[in-house]
């Protein structure tokens, strides 16, 4: 569905998106960064740290894309990773209980923060035939984690390590390493287990995907994925543009006065 059109900042969807952008800027997490593109309020990019040891993703910095539907938050976002992980296929929508592939399990009370916490938590689980998921050896995943910091997003024009360095600075400005209260809702965990069981029981495990074969052979690289930007951009009101510009620059945290 096209999202082209004039949007009012009083529109419930726009208000919700701006609220989430503001909350993520004012309560930054050391584990992830997320913000909408300045040119499209409905396309967000995120960078997350891999789960801690003993996870093979420890030390990894992974970049991805979120597309919000026009009916957000009544309908769930879609997610894809742009950085090679060894867990999710590159630049392919992933099937999780928080994504557009499972509208029946999505709850409007959840948001971008909840989704990122869940994705990070689910990285260490088995792909199990999951759409957009893949299996790779621990060695391959560790190698990809080590390479991931230098991956640079064409749309953001920054490497993952730069994005998270700025995020660390934002966290320090807000009082150190205190994290917001972040847990994966139990309903979300249950839905994930049910969806995974369904994927495992629907058919025999398919032949390894091209991405998995490339990973196992060591040919997966940290090259930028194609088609990063959304094909249709939403028209953003000037008020929303102002918030986004200052959100990207940390202005929401500094609470600079708004121009008249």
Residues designated catalytic: 95
DSSP 127: -
Residue with tokens 């050391």: 30
Length of the chain equals: 260
| 44 phi, psi to nearest 5 deg | -110, 150
Residue with tokens 């088995």: 126
Distance CA(187)–CA(181), nearest Å, equals 17
Contact call for residues 112 and 44 (beta carbons, < 8 A)? yes
Contacts of 45 (CB under 8 A, 6+ apart): 34, 35, 37, 63, 64, 65, 66, 153, 155, 156
Q: Map residue 78 onto helix, strand or coil.
A: strand
Q: Map residue 36 onto helix, strand or coil.
A: strand
What would the two tokens of residue 69 be? 């539907």
Distance CA(84)–CA(221), nearest Å, equals 7
Contacts of 219 (CB under 8 A, 6+ apart): none
| 180 phi, psi to nearest 5 deg | -60, 160
């Amino acid at each position: 569905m096209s999202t082209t059109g004039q949007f009012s900042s009083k529109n419930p969807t726009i208000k919700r998106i701006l609220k989430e952008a503001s909350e993520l800027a004012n309560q930054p997490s050391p584990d992830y960064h997320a913000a909408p593109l300045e040119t499209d309020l409905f396309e967000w990019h995120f960078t997350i740290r891999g789960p801690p040891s003993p996870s093979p993703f420890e030390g990894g910095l992974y970049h991805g894309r979120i597309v919000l539907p026009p009916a957000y938050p009544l309908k769930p976002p879609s997610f894809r990773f742009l950085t090679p992980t060894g867990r999710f296929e590159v630049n392919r929508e992933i099937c999780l209980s928080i994504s557009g592939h499972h509208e029946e399990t999505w709850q409007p009370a959840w948001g971008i923060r909840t989704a990122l916490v869940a994705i990070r938590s689910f990285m260490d689980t088995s792909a199990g035939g999951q759409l957009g998921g893949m299996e790779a050896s621990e060695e391959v995943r560790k190698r990809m984690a080590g390479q991931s910091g230098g991956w640079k997003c064409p749309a953001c024009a920054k490497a993952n390590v730069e994005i998270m360095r700025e995020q660390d600075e934002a966290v320090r400005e807000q009082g150190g390493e205190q994290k917001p209260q972040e847990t994966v809702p139990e309903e979300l965990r249950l839905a994930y287990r049910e969806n995974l069981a369904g994927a495992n029981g629907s058919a025999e495990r398919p032949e390894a995907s091209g991405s998995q074969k490339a990973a196992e052979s060591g040919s997966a690289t940290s090259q930028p994925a194609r088609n990063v930007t959304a094909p249709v951009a939403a028209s953003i009101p000037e008020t929303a543009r102002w918030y986004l510009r200052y959100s990207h620059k940390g202005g929401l945290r500094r609470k600079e006065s708004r121009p008249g």
